[in-house]
Amino acid sequence: MKNSSIYPVIYTIRREFYKITSPEILEGIDILTPEKVEYIFQSKENESVKFSNIQSESLGILQKLAKKLLSLSRGSFTEKLIYDYMLYYEFYNLNILLKARINNYEGELFLFDWSRVSSKEELLSLKTLQEVQKTYLAILSAYRISDKRLLTSLKTVSKSNIREVLLYSSIVYYRNLLKTCEMSGSAEAERIISTKAFYEFLISLAKIRFIENVDVENVLEDLDFLPNKQILQDIFLVDTRENFLKKCVDKKIIPQNFLISEIDDIDKFKNIILKNTCKSIIIGFPLNIASLLSIFILREIDVKNYTALVGAALEGLEMNKVRSLVVL
């Protein structure tokens, strides 16, 4: 990255950092209503948006940030890093479309407006499974991805095996991103992405193993790129969900003082430790690859928080329950 581009990028990162949700956003709110969610979104994002549109507007946060950083950055490596990070949202869109078309769902879909091949409107116009598969393959080609397992599972995708596409797309994504982090020479970047990847696979594999009752041994073998692969393998040497949760505590993956009764609880804990780690990286600066990744992760947590607030308001949940959903 050239020196001339550093200061506008720093400004953008600082500006995004100050939008990060904090405990203050819920102070003084005893009942969460659509009007209060609108106020929270406007006060943090400086955008006046109707309650019914906040979920879709939240999805735009990351793509706006990525496009802004791409426009300000002059280094080819920084550009590669952003594209590799945002590949997750390419996969997210296509996997959502795959599930919808396989199940003949024709209702509204919330997609990220981010793709190197098709616009959001073009993606939503894909009405058949075959059209989604063709676009999926085109995007894999654009990223020069030739993973045989992902390609095979994609070409033969059905209701019974769509889980394989979701898993292998995650494996390809994190392997690709960790390789890019390694090329940067940033131990901090590798650390936060490795942590994120570890918990993502811990949660997704736990759901497959203990909720769907499907063996995950073969998938675990494919995680050689993860520094903590051995810990994951050891954790899954249990027979019940309860023993799995207990082992997570015993292995100090989840601290004893963090209340955990369901697999989804781990997701909140993951976001808490990522938020603390990323905030310390950004506050410390100087601008580096880890700083860019950190702001993406922090804003990603914001997106989840806004979506959780919308859901909580629709459900009329009490504030103590709302606080249990939001990562502050």
Upper half-sphere CA count for residue 255 (Cβ side, 13 Å): 7
**Does residue 318 sit in helix, strand or coil?**
strand
End-to-end CA distance of the chain: 32
Which residue intervals of the chain are DSSP H helices?
Answer: 3-17, 34-45, 54-72, 76-102, 120-124, 129-142, 148-155, 162-184, 187-210, 217-221, 229-235, 241-250, 263-284, 289-315, 319-325
- Mean pLDDT in residue range 273-297: 90
- Mean pLDDT in residue range 116-127: 92
Whether the predicted pLDDT of 1 surpasses 70: no
- For residue range 56-110, what is the model confidence (pLDDT) as tens digits? 999 999 999 999 999 988 778 889 999 999 999 999 999 999 999 999 998 889 8
Q: How confident is the model at residue 283 (pLDDT cuts 50, 70, 90)?
A: confident
Write the single-letter amino acid at 221. E
Residue carrying structure tokens 């050891």? 234
- For residue range 226-257, what is the model confidence (pLDDT) as tens digits? 999 999 999 999 999 999 999 999 999 998 88
For residue 29 the two structure tokens come to 């709110």
What is the H or E stretch that residue 147 is in?
Answer: none
How high does pLDDT run on average in the chain?
92
Gap between the Cα atoms of 178 and 161, Å rounded = 27
**Does residue 142 sit in helix, strand or coil?**
helix
Q: Which of 174, 252, 238, 181 is nearest to 210 (CA)?
A: 238
pTM for the whole structure: 0.92
**Are the beta carbons of 177 and 80 closer than 8 angstroms?**
no
Length of the chain, in residues: 328
Q: How far is CA 1 from CA 73, 74, 76, 192, in A?
A: 7, 5, 8, 21
Q: For residue 66, what are the contacts with CB-CB under 8 A and spacing of at least 6?
A: 82, 85, 86, 114, 296
**Cis (ω within 30 of 0) for the bond into 227?**
no
Predicted local distance difference test score (pLDDT) of residue 6 = 63
Residue carrying structure tokens 């769902």? 105
Angle between the N-to-C axes of helices 34-45 and 289-315, in degrees from 0 to 180, rounded to the nearest 10: 160
All structural domains of the chain with their residue ranges: 3-325
Classify residue 24 by its DSSP letter.
G
What is the H or E stretch that residue 252 is in?
Answer: none
User: Which of left, alpha, beta for 31 (phi over 0: left; psi -120 to 50: alpha)?
Assistant: beta
Predicted local distance difference test score (pLDDT) of residue 2 = 44
Predicted local distance difference test score (pLDDT) of residue 5 = 53
